[in-house]
Amino acid sequence: MKLHNFNSGPSILPQPVLTQAAEAIINYNNTGLSLLEIGHRTNWFQEILQEAKDGVKKLMDLDDQYEVLFLHGGATTQFMQVPMNLLDTNATAAYCDNGIWGNKAWKEAKHFGNVQVVADSSDRHYQYINKEFTVPADAAYLHITSNNTVEGTQWHSYPTTHIPLIADMSSDIFSRPTDFKKCDLIYAGAQKNMGAAGVNLVVVKKSILGKIARSIPTIMNYQKHIEAGSLMNTPPVFAVYVSMLTLRWVIEQGGLTEMGKRNLAKSTLLYNTIDALPIFNAPVAKEYRSEMNAVFFLNDAALEEPFLALCKQEGMIGVKGYRTVGGVRVSMYNALPIESVQIFCDLMHSFAQKHG
C-alpha cells in the first residue's frame, strides 16, 4: 500500500533528497567516508554549507546586508535568542499572538525585557489573524509567526512596520514567492519544509545587531556566529546537508514561483472539497486559511474516530489534529505531490457518501 505523508513535521521530503542523503550516509561523494564521519572544517563540509547559504540567499533574493546562519536548537530556541540579542532590559518588543507558537514566543521574550502583545487572536481560538493593531513607536521590533501550523492560519502578506520585523517562518518558508526584504530577521526550523530535524535557519540583517547593552553568552550571540561562519561549535552536519539538498531541489524545480503554484493548487483542491461536503467544517475564514496546514473538523464529533481510522487504513499518515485542538490536520508542504491530496479528497467524498 502506498503511504501518503501529511505529517506536520518532521514532514515529507523530496524523493531525490532522500536518495542522495541515504547514499551519502554510506559513501559521501565517493570519498569512501560516510557524511556522518567527515570533519565539519573539511572542504567537503565547507562546500555543503556554502551551497546551503547561497541557496537561501538566491531563493530569498537577498544581498550581503543579510547573513545566513545554520544553528542548533530549532525554532523554539529562537524564542529566547531573538530577544536576548535585540531587546534591552528596559525596552519593549511588540508581538502578535496569533497561535500557540506566537504565544510561546512572547512569553519567552518577557525574560529579557518588556513585551506588548499588540494583536491577540485567542478570543476566537486562534481561528483568524488579528491584523488591526498599532505598534508602539519606540518598540525594539515586531514579531510575527508567518504560518500557524497548529491552528491552520497564515499571513498572506506581511505587516508594514517602521521597526524591525521578525518572522518565525518555520512552517511556510520557501513555499511561495514573498518579499523577504520586509523582514529584518527570519528564523525557521528545517523539519517542516526545508529539510530534516536538527538544524535551524536564521537569516538576519546585520545592521540590527550589536545595539543592546546586555552581555550575551557567546553561543547565543548572532554576531559571534556570523564571525565563526556557523562553525562556532560542531554543526549538525547531516541536517545541514539535507537542507542543502532540499534547497537545491526547490531551485531545480523552478524556485518559489513553482512552489507557490503547486501549493496553491493543493490547498485549493482540499479546501474546495471540505467546503463542498457538509459533513466537514473548516472554521478558519478563507482569507486566513493556511496553504500549508489545513485544519478542519467533522460536524458530528462521533465520526472523527472512524474517519481517522479510515485514513490510517488507507495509508494517510499524520492527519490527526494537534493534541490541544483536535480534529483533522492535513499538511501540504513542498514535497507533497498533488496526487496525495487528490486521493485524500476522494477518501473524504467516499466517507461523506457513507455517513453524510
How sure is the predictor about 118, in pLDDT bands with cuts at 50, 70 and 90? very high
Report if residue 249 sits inside a domain: yes
Report if residue 274 sits inside a domain: yes
71 forms bridges with which residues in the sheet?
A: 200
Grid coordinates of 12? 515529507
Query: What would the mean pLDDT of 138-148 be, rounded to a whole number?
Result: 97
Grid look-up 533574493 returns 61
Task: Fill in the DSSP letter of residue 207.
Answer: G
Confidence at residue 165, expressed as pLDDT on a 0 to 100 scale: 98
pLDDT above 90: residue 350: yes
Same domain for 258 and 246: no
Report if residue 91 sits inside a domain: yes
- How far is Cα 82 from Cα 85, in angstroms, rounded to an integer? 5
Same domain for 75 and 216: yes
Positions marked active-site = 101, 168, 192
Query: What would the mean pLDDT of 312-331 be, rounded to a whole number?
Result: 96
pLDDT digits over 72-93, tens only? Answer: 999 999 999 999 999 999 999 9
Same domain for 222 and 351: no
pLDDT above 90: residue 298: yes
Same domain for 78 and 161: yes
pLDDT digits over 194-216, tens only? Answer: 999 999 999 999 999 999 999 99
- How far is Cα 85 from Cα 65, in angstroms, rounded to an integer? 18
Confidence at residue 257, expressed as pLDDT on a 0 to 100 scale: 98
> Per residue in 193-211, is it b (16+ CB within 10 Å) or e — as a string?
bbbbbbbbbbbbbeebbee
Written as one string, the DSSP assignment of 277-298 is: -TTEE--S-GGGB-SSEEEEEE
pLDDT above 80: residue 356: no
Check: pTM over 0.95? Answer yes or no: yes
Grid look-up 493593531 returns 133
Grid look-up 513553482 returns 258
Same domain for 212 and 179: yes
Report if residue 4 sits inside a domain: no
| Domain tally, the chain | 2
Task: Name the residue range of residue 302's domain.
Answer: 254-355
Same domain for 83 and 37: yes
Same domain for 246 and 225: yes
Written as one string, the DSSP assignment of 158-188 is: PPP-SS-EEEE-TTTTTSS---GGG-SEEEE
Q: Tell me the one-letter amino acid at 287.
A: E
Confidence at residue 177, expressed as pLDDT on a 0 to 100 scale: 98
Confidence at residue 1, expressed as pLDDT on a 0 to 100 scale: 83
